[in-house]
Amino acid sequence: MPSPLFDLTGKVAIVTGSSKGIGKSIAMHLALAGAKVVVSSRKQPVCEEAAAEIRKAGGEAIVIPCNISDKAQCERLVAETRNQLGPVDVLVCNAASNPYYGPTENLPDDVFMKIMQNNILSNIWLINLCLPDMRAKKDGSIMIVSSIGGVRASTVIGAYCISKAADMQLARNLAAEYGPDNIRVNTIAPGLVTTDFARALYEDPKRRAEREAATPLRRLGQPDDIGGIAVMLAGKAGAFITGQTLIADGGVTVGG
């Protein structure tokens, strides 16, 4: 029989940016572990496709679209989740944006502010909205999908990396604040994963081959390499982990 450490039966989970890629894998595996999952991104049709795939696999999923840059939509996301499924037990802040590639000296102010709002401030909004449910139960798991960009320098996606480093610090701060209520806050930091979001970083065959050669496991990541980590952090298997950044990068950051 499956280990009870990975049993999420009865838990309600919101996963932002979950219509495809890493977010979709997280939503799928949370649902297969027993959670009732909210699939959410800006566009309802692709959310419906992802939710249908989860249900076909045997999981439970509903759709509540949300543009995380809009606070009112974040409020609606949490309120509708509560109305349809009940109090929130698990929040995965996966949605993020990276609209700029290039040196920091040419980065427009408005683009920088958009990255900070979408990748940091929206997470704070969603966390604060879910906090009352978790405090009432004295139990909860919050995950922010960060990136190894938060621990490495970059000459082309510097603002994105700044935002991801900030997410790591946000998790540390909130882990200390919410720990007395048994609410765990962690970040997951993937390396290069083959998603549409990261396509510009691996679609060139030469660049991809170079990256694979520099990775100890000699391959790029797949979304399911991240989905299982979320299942662990959501349940009893991760009950004593908080304030941490779990790096899943095939060994890139250790070299070799």
Q: Which residues are catalytic?
A: 160
Encoded tokens for 122: 């929206």
CA distance 56 to 53: 5
Q: What values do phi and psi take at 75, rounded to 5?
A: -65, -40
Residue in 142, 249, 112 with CA at minimum distance from that of residue 189? 249
CA distance 143 to 1: 27
**237 Cβ neighbours under 8 A, 6+ residues apart:** 3, 5, 6, 231
